[in-house]
Amino acid sequence: MTKDGRKHWKKIEDRYKYTVKVPLDNLYGMHLYSKLELVDTDVHYLLQDDIPSIHGFVKLRNGEFVKIHCLHPMPPSPTESYTSTNRDAEILMLGRDITPEDRKVLVFGDLNDVAWSRTTKLFQEIAD
């Protein structure tokens, strides 16, 4: 990494103290940066050994904890996967694992999906 590249990351890390870094050579590495404390974070590989997801909690300023799930499933595309099967499965697996006891949950990342898709609507029904 160049000296300028190190300076750039240093600026980001100065502003966002809490991080989870999963650098990968493919298109699916993830870096999570937060100004709020990240607690009990863990990296999972739900469907494939080279596509990570980050799970844990963020501690809000009022002391409450909110469960977080960060995803970047493989999109349907001619260069990645001709169907959305894996993407849909990863999103729906997460929806299945969210329980009413979780109460406060944030799901974010590059979901490679749109809010009006059949998969997103099914995710909402399953996680409700």
Please provide the CATH number assigned to the domain covering 3-127.
3.60.10.10
- Higher per-residue confidence, 50 vs 110: 50
Alpha carbon dihedral 8, 55, 30, 14, in 10-degree steps, equals 0
Note the pLDDT of residue 78: 59
The ranges assigned to domains in the chain are 3-127
Q: pLDDT of 54-72, one tens digit each?
A: 999 999 999 999 999 988 8
- Higher per-residue confidence, 100 vs 59: 59
Give how far the C-alpha of residue 62 lies from the chain's centroid of Cα atoms, to the nearest Å.
23
Q: pLDDT of 83-93, one tens digit each?
A: 566 666 777 77
**Terminal alpha carbon distance of the chain:** 44
Please tell me the distance from the alpha carbon of residue 50 to that of residue 36, in angstroms, as a whole number: 27
Please tell me the distance from the alpha carbon of residue 123 to that of residue 128, in angstroms, as a whole number: 8
pLDDT band at 40 (very low <50, low <70, confident <90, very high): very high
- Higher per-residue confidence, 3 vs 26: 26
Dihedrals phi, psi of 116, to nearest 5 degrees: -100, 10
The two structure tokens encoding residue 47? 């469907």
The stretch 7-27 carries a mean pLDDT of 86
Average pLDDT score, the chain: 80
pLDDT at 2 over 80: no
pLDDT band at 43 (very low <50, low <70, confident <90, very high): very high
Residue among 28, 53, 51 at smallest CA distance from 41: 53
